[in-house]
Chain A
């Protein structure tokens, strides 16, 4: 399929208040082109959680989004500390977020489980001290919840 839209975002790591800008922009773009509304919602949720994670846990990163007629691919890349135990990190409720983040309403350990729930595929590549790369994909026309 040749007709795709590519979007690239830098997610700043020092400004927690700006997290959500990339996902909001993607949502806007998808709405404008009349994308499947269930898919828009799932992309927005997954990407926002990913963005927040890069800000809280990895000092920022980048987001690359590829919009195809039948699916949206998202790649989140950071050069943060990496994830020691991915399986554990995926457990609902597991979080290493500091208290100040928790008082802002995050750090409930639901981010990665939410991402898994709302995407059709999710793959994590991570290396301690090097960084984390997350590959997410959401199908339009909804095979997922």
Chain B
């Protein structure tokens, strides 16, 4: 499932970093966490990363860990300079009002029935 397909299926807003290439990237796994050192060490390539961290450091972590996208849950805010960074490195940042747990279950189900 691509980032844009996931955004559509789960009714998520695309806040930044969404261009043709970045949105057509495949989501390979799901990861969640807010401690950046932890995520940095454990997230893997192609992850959809569910978090409340919408700061510029989260963008650096997503980029270094090679995540497919960041998904901000419970309407967590994307800072202005983080938005700028997301656009400049084409890292999609999506947003939902719902909780991580619900979203992950749904996305996982969708990915399995693909």
Contact B36 A45 (CB under 8 A): no
Interface residues of A in 29-55 (CB under 8 A from B): 41, 44-45, 48-49, 52
Contact B41 A110 (CB under 8 A): yes
In this complex, the interface size class of chain B, counting residues with CB under 8 Å from chain A, is 20 to 34
Residue numbers in B under 8 Å from A23 (CB-CB): 60, 64
Interface contact tally, CB-CB below 8 A: 62
Contact B57 A110 (CB under 8 A): no
Answer whether A106 and B36 are a contact pair too, CB < 8 Å, given A17-B56, A20-B57. yes
Residue numbers in A under 8 Å from B66 (CB-CB): 41
Q: Which residues of chain B have a CB within 8 Å of any CB of chain A?
A: 34-38, 40-41, 45, 53, 55-58, 60-61, 63-66, 81
Q: Which residues of chain A have a CB within 8 Å of any CB of chain B?
A: 16-17, 19-20, 23-24, 27, 41, 44-45, 48-49, 52, 104-106, 108, 110-111, 114, 117-118
Known: A48-B60, A105-B36. 14 other contacts (CB 8 A): A19-B57, A23-B64, A24-B63, A41-B65, A44-B65, A48-B40, A105-B34, A105-B37, A108-B37, A110-B35, A110-B37, A110-B38, A110-B41, A117-B41
